[in-house]
Amino acid sequence: MSGTSLDGLDLVWVRFTPRSHQNWDLEWGPGRTVSYAGTRWEEDLPLAYRRPVGELKETSQAYAAWCNAELRRFLREEHLPFPDVVGHHGHTVHHRPHEGTTYQLGNEPEMAAHLPSAVVGDFRVYDVALGGQGAPLVPVADRLLFGTYAHCVNLGGFANTSCEIDGLRRAWDVVPLNILSNELTQRLGLPFDDRGGIAASGTLLPSLFSQLESLPHFQLPYPKSLGREDVERDWKPLVEQALAHHPLPDVLRTWTEHAASRVANDLRLGPHGTAMLSGGGVHNEFFVNRLTHLAPRPLEVLDAHRSNFKEAAAFALLAALKVRGENNVLASVTGAERDHSAGTIWKLDS
């Protein structure tokens, strides 16, 4: 799994056991995040967002080969057997579902080279072809693996949530999160805002906060998803304008408050109960404290291992469902014309 925050490739070994149509057991094994720092991907992935799909074939094949090599290294160094199935998300560089477009680097046959396992990837394209948003896809795993929680909130490059509403699983991208907070912090020479300390040192900017809260995304009904393109068009200009007149910690403080406000607002929906928090954003103590203060329901933060690798585990489950011939994408979540089984299966030497 590689997300929009561009920190690295997440690898996790998991075992699933189906218990019922709505309940699977999950056994966690080792996990690893392979940093992009010091690799070609530190520069190539950000540049790929600005290049048309037709120019990305070599980059995509090279990324698939690199992911394959890192997977084999992970299995070897952790003394793990080859899994029956590998779920491979790739790295999204273009996501414009309203134009019928979504593209993830690394969804190539090279991903399956030198592996005895089936590899399943390219999960989003078919959903977009069926009129869906192509995202979020993790809610199938939320329902099957974490169904005891009223909300499952992922705090990654984007914050998204899923819950049951009127008997249907619903999910949507709430607000950009680490995708922009990391970028702001990197202007100070740091990879991310450790525990939210920089944001906590800043002062809230009421005008910027009001502008962010008024963006049109928040008026849209679900299903809805976000891509880097949306950040560049809607959020980034407001942030850049504020940076021209205010210290970066103040802008980051306001950004953090805005993200917490939007997540808390959407937690009003769905049944009573606890919301589960996972993803890299749970390590931002200042953000979690602000969200806890604003949220209309109890929150539970997953432990570090499960939180860091929940999304990777979710795509492993999507791959397992695909190989079993079962639906792994819900129309009620993405807006596609029907539930379906998404993904392309590659096998060794196929």
Q: Which of 136, 143, 155 has the alpha carbon at shortest distance from 302?
A: 155
Q: Are 197 and 286 in contact (CB under 8 A)?
A: yes
Task: Judge if 129 and 144 occupy the same domain.
Answer: no
Task: Judge if 274 and 335 occupy the same domain.
Answer: no
Domain tally, the chain = 2
Whether cis (ω within 30° of 0) applies to the bond prior to 81 is no
* Residue 254 falls inside a structural domain: yes
Element (DSSP H or E) covering residue 166 = none
Task: Judge if 107 and 180 occupy the same domain.
Answer: no
Please tell me the total number of residues recorded for the chain in this structure: 350
Task: Judge if 24 and 110 occupy the same domain.
Answer: yes
Domain extent, residue 155, equals 140-305
Each residue's pLDDT tens digit, 197-236: 999 999 999 999 999 999 999 999 988 989 888 999 999 9
Each residue's pLDDT tens digit, 276-325: 999 999 999 999 999 999 999 999 999 999 999 999 999 999 999 999 99
Of the residues 305, 320, 336, which one is the last residue of a structural domain? Answer: 305
* Residue 310 falls inside a structural domain: no
Taking only Cα atoms into account, the Rg of the chain, rounded to an integer number of angstroms, comes to 19
Task: Judge if 175 and 191 occupy the same domain.
Answer: yes
Task: Judge if 176 and 257 occupy the same domain.
Answer: yes
Task: Judge if 207 and 127 occupy the same domain.
Answer: no
Q: Residue 272's domain is classified under what CATH number?
A: 3.30.420.40
* Residue 2 falls inside a structural domain: no
Cross-strand pairs, 152:
162, 276
Q: How far is CA 2 from CA 269, 303, 324, in A?
A: 29, 20, 24
pTM confidence score? 0.89
* Residue 316 falls inside a structural domain: no
Task: Judge if 156 and 102 occupy the same domain.
Answer: no
